[in-house]
Structure 1
Amino acid sequence: MAKVCLGMIMSVDGFINDRQGKLDKLYASFEPNEVINEAMANTGAVVMGRNSFESAEDTDAYAEDYEFQVPLFIVTHYPPARHPRENDNLTITFVTDGVENAVRQAKAAAGDKNVVVLGASTGQQALKAGLVDELQVAIAPILLGEGLRFFEHLDDLEIQLEKLRTIETNQQVEIWYKVIGQQ
């Protein structure tokens, strides 16, 4: 059965973008590795928020060069007027009735493969709803001081995690956790 995995790269001080909303400083140290490549190959669908989706300069480019060539489910209140380009593998569905429905549709599309959730707000919503099975956090070697925090709006929610593995590259650390409960 497909797992729902929330993954993100963040600064040591917990930000997933800088003051201007840019990601490039975080990804400057990113080094693909066997585990990441295997996780990407085992991804059958992606759920992300509209802000994450539109962080690409040209949303039509997803069909050409996005690392996940799988169905994308975009959580939004308002779909864009023009539907972005798709291809045989990458389809784009705008889901207007919440993260729960987006994850349900993504699981159906993924089959036996995993669903990856991307983006701070969408990830926080999925965590609050108890939809996340695993959490993968890559820690970039930078202190940003300001920006968007990965775990900002979880209110009083306490989530118990069990470490599955840790991967060290030359520049960063990745920690994989299983979500074992929340209160």
Structure 2
Amino acid sequence: MAKVCFGMIVSLDGFVSDRHGKLDKLYESFKPNDEINEVMAKTGAVVMGRRTYGMTDDPDAYADDYEFQVPIFVLTHHPPAKHPKENDNLSITFVTDGIETAVRKAKAAAGEQDVVVLGADVGQQALRANLVDELQIAFAPLLIGTGTRMFEHLEDLEIQLEKVRTIVTDEQVEVYYKVIGPLS
């Protein structure tokens, strides 16, 4: 059964994008090594929000050069009028009826491989719905001061985690946590 992993690159002060909603500075340090590539190769489907999906200037570019060439499920209230280009490995499905449906469809598409959840808001929704099995946090070596926080709206939620893996590259540290469950 597919494992659901909420993963993002975050600045050391906790931001997943800068004050302008850009990720460029964070991704400049992302240079995957063999171990990270091995983890990424286990991805069978991706769930993302509409804002994350819309960060590219050309939605057709997903089919050409997106790092995950797997089915993508975009959680949105407003699917685009024009469906983006797809290929033999990458399909894009717009899901309008909630995070539970998006994750269920992604797990079915992923089979035995993992589902990666991308985007702060969608990840927080998945955590609230108790759909996340693992958190993956890549710490970029910078402080950006303001922007979108990875865990902005979880003030009333306490979740117990267990560290299961750490990957250290020349530029960053990635920490993987198993989600044990809500604290009582």
Aligned AA (2:70): V
Q: Spell out the pairing of 1:128-143 with structure 2 (5 A cutoff).
A: 128-143=128-143
Distance in 2 separating the partners of 1:165 and 1:71: 26
**1:36-87 superposed Cα distances (whole Å, 9 cap, x missing partner):** 2112111110000000001011110000100111000000001001111111
Identity rate, percent: 70
**1:121-148 superposed Cα distances (whole Å, 9 cap, x missing partner):** 0000000000000100000011100100
Distance in 2 separating the partners of 1:167 and 1:44: 21
Aligned AA (2:105): Q
Flag as ranges the 4+ runs of structure 1 deviating above 6 A. none
Structure 1: runs of 5 or more not aligned: none
- Equivalent residue of 1:59, what SS? coil
Q: Spell out the pairing of 1:116-131 with structure 2 (5 A cutoff).
A: 116-131=116-131
Distance in 2 separating the partners of 1:122 and 1:130: 12
Q: Partner of 1:171 in structure 2? A: 171
Structure 2: runs of 5 or more not aligned: none
Distance in 1 separating the partners of 2:165 and 2:88: 34
Moved more, 20-29 or 93-102: 20-29
**TM-score (structure 2 length as normaliser):** 0.97
Aligned residues: 183
Q: Partner of 2:60 in structure 1? A: 60
Contact kept, 8 Å, 2:36 with 2:167, in 1: the verdict is no
Q: Partner of 1:104 in structure 2? A: 104
CA RMSD in angstroms comes to 0.8
Distance in 1 separating the partners of 2:167 and 2:108: 30
Q: Spell out the pairing of 1:15-164 with structure 2 (5 A cutoff).
A: 15-164=15-164
